[in-house]
Chains A and B, each alone.
Chain A
């Protein structure tokens, strides 16, 4: 099935680069890398696509929608050019912030390289327990955020989202990590924390099952049957989210 560059740009912005927030929380080296005396804000602006600002402060990172008081601005004239920058086949020239070029080249680029290493992990890398845990958690966040971006932007994803009843969906890896997907009138928002209450829930029984599902090593439907993935509540919410999940794999392949 077809994918579109604009939707991929939204995924790359909010799901992939958005995972830098979590990388800085989970990986001390990443956090240390971006520790600066003063906060630094990097703006990413895609014409006919998403725009966001990554704010680095005290070794932590926060992503905000839109361009707000950024020190460095990276403009992209098309979603395709932005996507090329994210997958490493293209580059970006800052429009402003030449004084922060050192941060960009010396810290931000190594940070994104680190993120790529976790998100495109090799079997060898995954033998390290800590690496495995961070990598899987980051994949979880990328996937759950990508769900909303596809539901809001991709043509077929929008159809699926339009069939999700309003409410909160809890997507979790048991005793590990959770995300809230809030749906209203077919619009989806992912919040990277556990909801206080939910209308439906999809829970992977442990991090290894989640990883195997993410990597396509085990079958999702069989896993439900075996109790490795549990569903609760209004199942037509999850059913339609799972339709979008199929497209996450397509975009992130």
Chain B
């Protein structure tokens, strides 16, 4: 079977228009540069509509979307239960002078759901949550320094970017210490060398960085880090913005068998309604309260209503188990399809957030070629970033994705007789 190859002329036309009035046309991770649309003409830039696991672009092409808006799509685009709860709240009020009581109900639900949570603080984006968590740790400890693990991504505030990024000052990142994963002796040595100076360790629950196979920490790593933090009065922050709720509804720290002091959520909180949260332990509530940290839309009611409906539905569906099963089924199928053409596709990380890489060469060139063929046949994946499962993804969608993948592996193999001949 041969799958039709999409054209994206309308997207291209709109992108050119966009460059005139928007810096770089579409900036950030959704744009063609950071999103690594290689080559650009194979990729849709603007969407027309979305429903369930599907997105339709402005050229009318339909995609199974494995990026899920880079995470927020957890139940399926336009989930009827979440949307109904949001619309009901919208009719009552959204951005108002006094927050709606749904905010309190949302906080109570998070405290009941997240293992480490004694309280919940709300904001809008993941970056707001990680920034708030760092400020809270510094307010509590009165210390400056922050330890992060290699391959980290904790948002876009200057402190969590790198010294060579445009607009970032050396002073912004002067208190950051980067360490490798799994090296407990080095962590202990670093803390000893910076005695009473480390405010916090902030880390994703596992290494789900870009450009490399994703990896869980070694057995015993997290309990040991927990022990070291407690011993040295260092606040342990888990950045669960990306993985949160997809591994464990009680938080990814719970999944890995330890308790964070602060945990940051965003993407899977409200199925696309814009909110983020920091949850934390009782002893940090005072420090969080002390922060001058708020925003015009942070306490808007509609996302809270969506969040409550979303969390309740995730519990009802047992999302972590469902995502693991769907992710494994998809990844196993893709790997097998690749092997039939001599292509070594490696699927790594948690199946709910699978990362893909063709390992026949060390340049990603084959992988980018395969990804481009997939996208232009309606399977929206990424060449550099982990993917996301959502609840609306059906077995039929998975089967179709694997069939398209098989055709695309065949095309790549045929294009490279020097490797596969």
- Does any Cβ of A come within 8 Å of B387's Cβ? no
B344-366 at interface with A (beta carbon < 8 Å): 362-365
Contact B25 A225 (CB under 8 A): yes
B384 touches A198 (CB 8 A): no
Query: Which chain A residue shows the least CB distance to B383?
Result: A235
- Using C-beta atoms within 8 Å of the partner chain, give the interface range for chain A: 20 to 34
CA distance A199 to B41 in the complex (A): 22
- Whether B15 is near chain A, meaning CB under 8 Å from some CB there, is yes
B-contacting residues, A220-253, CB 8 Å: 221-222, 224-227, 230-236, 240, 243-244, 246-247
Instruction: Decide: A226 and B15 in contact? CB cutoff 8 A.
Output: yes
B292 to chain A, nearest CB (A): 29
Residues of A within 8 A of B211 (CB): 234-236
Whether, in the assembled complex, A159 has its beta carbon less than 8 Å from a beta carbon of chain B, the answer is yes
Within 8 A of B (CB), among A176-203: 198-200
Cβ contact within 8 Å between A246 and B166: yes
Interface size on B, residues (CB 8 A): 32
Let me know if A156 is at the binding interface, CB within 8 A.
yes
Cα distance A222–B16 when bound, in Å?
9
Q: Which residues of A contact B40 (CB under 8 A)?
A: 224-227
Chain B residues near A227 (CB-CB < 8 A) = 39-41
What A residues does B368 contact at CB under 8 A? Answer: 232-233
> Does chain A have a CB within 8 A of B38?
yes
A160 part of interface (Cβ distance < 8 Å)? yes
Which A-chain residue is minimally distant from B150 (CB atoms)? Answer: A163
What are 11 A-B interface contacts by the 8 Å CB criterion? A221-B24, A221-B27, A221-B33, A225-B15, A225-B24, A226-B25, A227-B40, A232-B368, A233-B368, A235-B38, A235-B211
Tell me if B36 is interfacial: C-beta within 8 Å of chain A: yes
- Residues 34-49 of B, flagged 1 when their CB comes within 8 A of A and 0 if not, give 0011111100010000
Report the minimum CB–CB distance from B310 to chain A (whole Å).
Answer: 33
Whether the pair A156, B166 counts as a contact (CB closer than 8 A) is no
Are B19 and A236 in contact, with the CB atoms below 8 A? no
Q: Are B362 and A199 in contact (CB under 8 A)?
A: yes
Q: Which single residue of chain B is at the shortest CB-CB distance from A200?
A: B363
| A219 at the binding interface (Cβ < 8 Å) | yes
Chain B: minimal CB distance from A209 (Å): 14
Looking across the interface, which residue of chain B has its beta carbon closest to that of A166? Answer: B362
- What number of residue pairs across chains A and B have CB atoms under 8 A from each other? 79
| Stretch of B125-133, B157-165, B401-409 with 4 or more beta carbons under 8 angstroms from chain A | B157-165
Q: How many whole Å from B178's CB to the nearest CB in chain A?
A: 10
Give residues in A with beta carbon < 8 Å to B: 156-157, 159-160, 163, 167, 198-200, 219, 221-222, 224-227, 230-236, 240, 243-244, 246-247
Whether B320 sits at the interface, judged by CB under 8 Å, is no
> Contacts A219-B23, A230-B39, A235-B384 hold; do A224 and B163 have CB atoms under 8 A apart?
no
The 9 A-B pairs of least Cβ separation, nearest first, read A221-B24, A225-B32, A243-B164, A224-B33, A233-B363, A160-B164, A199-B363, A227-B40, A222-B19
* B residues 2-41 in Cβ contact with A at 8 Å: 15-16, 19, 23-27, 31-33, 36-41
Say if the beta carbon of B289 comes within 8 Å of chain A.
Answer: no
Contacts of B170 in A (CB 8 A): 156
Instruction: Answer whether residue B415 sits at the interface, using C-beta atoms and an 8 A cutoff.
Output: no
CB neighbours (8 Å) of A167 from chain B are: 362-363
Q: Given A221-B24, A225-B31, A225-B45, 15 more contacts at CB 8 Å?
A: A159-B162, A159-B163, A199-B363, A224-B32, A224-B33, A227-B39, A230-B38, A230-B39, A231-B36, A232-B38, A233-B365, A235-B211, A236-B210, A240-B164, A244-B164
Q: Which residue of A lies closest to B35 (CB)?
A: A225
Does A233 contact B364, Cβ atoms closer than 8 Å?
yes
Q: Report the bound CA distance from A199 to B366 in whole Å.
A: 11
Among B15, B23, B163, contact of A156 (Cβ-Cβ < 8 Å)? B163
Q: What's the least CB distance linking B349 to chain A, in Å?
A: 17
Contact A231 B25 (CB under 8 A): no
Residues of B within 8 A of A247 (CB): 164
On whether the beta carbons of A225 and B26 are closer than 8 Å, the reply is yes
Instruction: Give Cα A159–Cα B39 distance, bound, in whole angstroms.
Output: 29
Q: Which residue of B lies closest to A221 (CB)?
A: B24
